[in-house]
Amino acid sequence: MKEELTQALSRMLGKPITFVNQPDGAGLIIRTTSANASLGSEGFQLQSNATNTAITLSAQTDIGLLYGGFHLLRLMQTRQPLIQLNIHSTPKLALRLLNHWDNLNRYVERGYAGISIFNWHTLPGYIDQRYIDYARANASIGINGTVLTNVNANAWILTGDYLQKVKALADVFRPYGIKVYLTARFSAPIEMGGLSTADPLQPQVQQWWQQKVKEIYTLIPDFGGFLVKANSEGQPGPQDYKRTHADGANMLADAVAPYNGIIMWRAFVYSHETPEDRFKQAYNEFKPLDGQFRKNVMVQVKNGPIDFQPREPFSPLFGAMPQTPLMMEFQLTQEYLGQGTHLVYEAPMFKETLDADTHINGKGSTVTKSVSGIAGVANIGNDINWCSHPFAQANWYALGKLAWNPAQSSETIAEEWIRQTWSNKTTVVNTCKQIMLQSREAMVNYMTPLGLHHIMGNGHHYGPLPWGNTLPRADWNPVYYHRADSAGIGFNRTATGSNALAQYHPAAAAAWADSNTCSSEYLLWFHHVSWQHRMPTGRSLWQELCFRYNQGVAQVRTMQQQWQQLQPYIDKERYTQVQLMLGIQQREAVWWRDACLLYFQQFSQQPIPAQYEKPAHTLEYYQNLKFPYAPGNG
């Protein structure tokens, strides 16, 4: 930690920093203390002396000191006063993880920033400086774990050779407080162990995993555990043997328990057979299992019930499994959010879910209160700036900061990040903040306003495809989700429809239950309403749809203008990169608007109001666009 501080401070101050031993000296005092138990194993304290000549950084552990050191650097880099410091900081959530969807061949599923930073071929012999910098970056925002491999798992990672490579990474990450985790392919005992079954209740399967786990912990004594996607989208799992998710999770949990390992078992499941509303399936599957999981199992739940849409209601599983610790899964990589080219600051979306009230234990039962950890599906690749879009790093940053303290505001986090990434100049800070804070709402408007969802291209999920109706599963098709017809649009999830609303506490459901009082943001998530439906703005639903799509485009154009004002203050390379990306975003926002309005107009049979731009092409033109090589998909 001294090394980090020396390196950064000598650059910031232009001279070496003085480390002193006593508070009456002038400089920085660093000490581990067992006196302040409230700091726990990761917390830290920063305190000025009475004369403001020395700052004491104290923690119970080296990792606490490291976090405190980074905090001090952040204060300095963001130009905060260093006098009368009295900061006491501990993480609110114990598990703060990245989930890489990185494959062993370095292809990143839903990755838009190059290939994986983990070069399995040259590991363990070659330690890329990037691994160290990755650990430093993560530690600087409090991330304390990383799942190295894709949830669509490959059993090969569990071979002896690859475990040596994992060990090499674990050794690099350890001094930065980062534990490594792997994804476990449920059928590994068959694929690697030569067994005829992976049935979790069979003793030979249990023994196979116990042996494998022992091998891992011999190499990596602080290995974190496994993340598992089972019986979901074709992945193997316990249901292949008529066992439950709890049976599968518990078998692995028992194997890692002697080493204090954990199992993060994903709730992202939807059945191949059930014709049930996909919204309801994860809850239906997991809620009855509450109380059946071992203590070291966490159920990992995506923020919303479907799949990382621009806006989703919170998943009804939050608060519904009081006997099971839950992990929140957010997606940093922008699969459905403009992918690698759109500027979308995701913190407001994360906050929307974390602050949502489940009402499970009365008013104020926020989603945050129901989770024990947060994982973010990483947006990192081997691009020179890690995340490709210069603003995408803000989402990685926000994930770490919110996992440390979910009460922090999106605005505070944005400001910190801007000051450290772009400049401390007021114009830059304020303008970037405006751009970032409106960006998510802009995207919702030009892609999926009023509660529309999952109307993106098939497979790659790039661009609009509201007419999509060709995939074998109904719930992979956009028409399944918007249900537009001559009577109206939206998915009826009230008691007269799929009744997904009943999965929420009545007080939470009440906010969405009536189409006349349901907030516009969620309307089409829960209601099929007529094209004439009167919106709170006084417009009809059709008019509101036209308004929102156009507003989204206007917001992106405003973002472009705001960025232009910053040209004098930003280096040419990054200025141009963002400018060009915003150009793409603007054109794609127009494309989304025109394609969607032309398509929905077939059902509404109403004109696009005269004040708006007319679509440049016909619906047929948009329907014929094809993108076989859009990135991120298989």
Answer whether 466's CB lies under 8 Å from 458's CB.
no
107 sits near ligand GCV (criterion: CB under 6 A): no
100, 229, 454, 528: which one binds ligand GCV (CB under 6 A): 229
Nearer to ligand GCV, 101 or 397 (CB): 101
Answer whether 551's CB lies under 8 Å from 545's CB.
no
Nearer to ligand GCV, 108 or 170 (CB): 108
CB of 29 to ligand GCV, least distance (A): 46
Nearer to ligand GCV, 133 or 233 (CB): 233
CB of 628 to ligand GCV, least distance (A): 17
For this structure, is 307 an active site residue?
yes
CB of 239 to ligand GCV, least distance (A): 16
Amino acid (one-letter) located at 111: G
Choosing from 133, 233, 485, 571, the catalytic residue is 233
Binding mask 144-163 for ligand GCV (x = CB under 6 A): -------xx-----------
Nearer to ligand GCV, 313 or 390 (CB): 313
Distance in angstroms (rounded) separating the CA atoms of residues 627 and 132 = 37
CB of 334 to ligand GCV, least distance (A): 12
325, containing H or E segment: none
Nearer to ligand GCV, 229 or 419 (CB): 229
CB of 232 to ligand GCV, least distance (A): 6
Amino acid (one-letter) located at 163: L
Answer whether 163's CB lies under 8 Å from 123's CB.
no
Answer whether 505's CB lies under 8 Å from 359's CB.
yes
Q: Which two tokens stand for residue 471?
A: 């995939």
CB of 268 to ligand GCV, least distance (A): 5
623, containing H or E segment: helix 619-623
For 407-472, give the DSSP string. Answer: TS-HHHHHHHHHHHHT---HHHHHHHHHHHHHHHHHHHHHHSGGG----BPTTT--SB-TT---SS
For this structure, is 335 an active site residue?
yes
Choosing from 335, 415, 475, 594, the catalytic residue is 335
Binding mask 59-98 for ligand GCV (x = CB under 6 A): ----------------------------------------
Distance in angstroms (rounded) separating the CA atoms of residues 168 and 125 = 8
Nearer to ligand GCV, 239 or 550 (CB): 239
CA distances from 301 to 225, 266, 619 (A): 17, 6, 37
47, 61, 75, 109: which one binds ligand GCV (CB under 6 A): 109
Nearer to ligand GCV, 139 or 377 (CB): 377
Answer whether 148's CB lies under 8 Å from 173's CB.
no
The distance from CA 534 to its chain's CA centroid, rounded to whole angstroms, is 35
CB of 152 to ligand GCV, least distance (A): 5
Distance in angstroms (rounded) separating the CA atoms of residues 132 and 613 = 50
CB of 295 to ligand GCV, least distance (A): 25
71, 110, 167, 342: which one binds ligand GCV (CB under 6 A): 110
Distance in angstroms (rounded) separating the CA atoms of residues 206 and 371 = 29
Strand partners, 96: 374
Nearer to ligand GCV, 149 or 492 (CB): 149
> What is the residue whose two structure tokens read 């408007």?
445
CB atoms within 10 A of CB 218: 12
Helix runs in 294-392, H state only: 347-355
265, 268, 417, 563: which one binds ligand GCV (CB under 6 A): 268
Task: Please name which of 270, 267, 336, 233 lies closest in space to residue 632, comparing C-alpha atoms.
Answer: 336
Strand partners, 367: none
**147: alpha, beta or left, given left = phi > 0 and alpha = psi -120 to 50?**
beta
Subset of 329-388 contacting ligand GCV (CB under 6 A): 335
Subset of 560-589 contacting ligand GCV (CB under 6 A): none
16, containing H or E segment: none
Distance in angstroms (rounded) separating the CA atoms of residues 43 and 414 = 23
Q: Is 121 exposed, middle or buried (0-12, 13-18, 19+ CB in 10 A)?
A: exposed
CB of 99 to ligand GCV, least distance (A): 9
Subset of 302-331 contacting ligand GCV (CB under 6 A): 307
Task: Please name which of 333, 364, 390, 366 lies closest in space to residue 566, comparing C-alpha atoms.
Answer: 390
Nearer to ligand GCV, 268 or 531 (CB): 268
Nearer to ligand GCV, 151 or 403 (CB): 151
CB of 486 to ligand GCV, least distance (A): 31
Q: Which two tokens stand for residue 321?
A: 């499994």
44, 67, 70, 101: which one binds ligand GCV (CB under 6 A): 101
Choosing from 254, 276, 307, 411, the catalytic residue is 307
To the nearest 10 degrees (0 to 180), the angle between helices 410-421 and 62-77 is 80
CB of 414 to ligand GCV, least distance (A): 27
CB of 599 to ligand GCV, least distance (A): 22
For 126-188, give the DSSP string. Answer: ---HHHHHHHHHHHHTT--EEE-S-SS--GGGGSHHHHHHHHHHHHHHGGGT-EEEEE--TTH
Distance in angstroms (rounded) separating the CA atoms of residues 106 and 117 = 8
Nearer to ligand GCV, 373 or 615 (CB): 373
Nearer to ligand GCV, 62 or 233 (CB): 233
Site size toward ligand GCV (CB under 6 A) is 10
Distance in angstroms (rounded) separating the CA atoms of residues 493 and 502 = 9
- Where does this chain bind ligand GCV (CB under 6 A)? 101, 109-110, 151-152, 229, 233, 268, 307, 335
Q: Kindly list the catalytic residues.
A: 233, 307, 335
